[in-house]
Amino acid sequence: MSQRRADAAAGMPRRDSAAAGMPQRRIGSQGLVAGAVGLGCGGMSPARGLPGLYGPPDEAECVATIQRAVDLGVTLIDTAEMYGPFHNERLVGRALRGRRDEVVLCTKVGFRYDSPEGMPIPDSSPAHLKASVDGCLQRLGVETIDLLYQHRIDRTVPIEETVGAMGELVRAGKVRGIGLSEVGAATIRRAHAAFPLSAVQSEWSLWERGVEQEVMLALRELGIGFVAYSPVGRGFLAGSAPREQVAQDGRRAYPRFQGENYDRNLSLLERLQALAARIDATPAQLAIAWLLDQGPDVLPIPGTKRRTYLEQNAAAASIVLDDGMRQALADAFPPGAAAGDRYNPEMDRYVDR
């Protein structure tokens, strides 16, 4: 593990001023490099009628958390126009004012928000994407987005048209690299043939293993990086999803947090807690270290809205797993171990397989 991390970090060009000590990783083959552990900012904003997806955020603490992330070398900062919508990009832009060149700034587009029901509607048409990016740039207060994702597949628009428009944004200097989120291997291959992808972002963790076969094989064949969101199972594997809190926040919509599934999944958390205690780590740190151990092309972006958890997550980059721990984690978390689907049917229709 340590040799793989050293190989990934050696000789890399850097466009940031990350704090010394955070290992650096390439994001694809287009020159983007960031700290091995990133920061997902989505939980810092309102979510469909809730003050926050994982409980109400303190905006001043959120700004301080983003700024502290940069101090620690957590330079991959992930946001999206959907978060809020629009609130999160403004928050991130305000937090990074004066520090733009220290980070790899990522956002996502591909939805409209004008339905009578208030539901986001996929729209990855070229005209909509280009207009959306202009809005993102304004809200973030920057001239260029480092990594622009299509947030979810739009089945009404051929992926070649979507990435073609994103490629035009690269050529126009508004975007440095492009990526997709929650897509299958066939879509990845079609998209990459139309314009080179820097990254794919999807859920990957000890309890969500769906990308490990076809998706990762395609990415590694094509030289595309992988950005893992929800690396600690939306807080469950960190031990920060007590039943009474989940009942009040956005996680109540996810099957793994409901009823008997929740009770059965507690045994997974207990296994992780016991293993983490062996190496004097938190469960979240061990879950993040496991992802980092999957290869130098994997960058987890744990989300948090508090500096304390941010600092713990960043420290996971220094954890080296030995073969004994790898085997113990494999035994405790075989693929399919989690009880319940990861999404309800409404959410699942946006996932491309």
Supply the residues annotated as catalytic: 83
Alpha carbon distances (Å) from 182 to 125, 187, 278:
18, 10, 34
CA atoms within 13 A of residue 290's CA, in its CB half-sphere? 29
- At residue 237, what is the residue type? L
Whether 88 and 41 have beta carbons less than 8 Å apart is answered as yes
Q: Which two tokens stand for residue 116?
A: 């009578």
Using CA atoms, how far apart are residues 145 and 40, in angstroms rounded to an integer? 16
Identify the three-state secondary structure at position 249.
Answer: coil
**What is the C-alpha radius of gyration for the chain, rounded to an integer number of angstroms?**
19
Whether 142 and 92 have beta carbons less than 8 Å apart is answered as no
Q: Which residues contact 202 (CB under 8 A, 6 or more apart)?
A: 181, 182, 183, 210, 211, 215, 226, 228, 229
Nearest to 274 by CA among 227, 217, 325: 325
Identify the three-state secondary structure at position 269.
Answer: helix
Q: Which residues contact 52 (CB under 8 A, 6 or more apart)?
A: 43, 44, 45, 46, 249, 250, 305
To 5 degrees, how large is the angle CA 37–CA 46–CA 148? 45
Pairing of strands 145-150, 32-35: unpaired
Q: Which two tokens stand for residue 77?
A: 């900062």
Using CA atoms, how far apart are residues 57 and 323, in angstroms rounded to an integer? 39
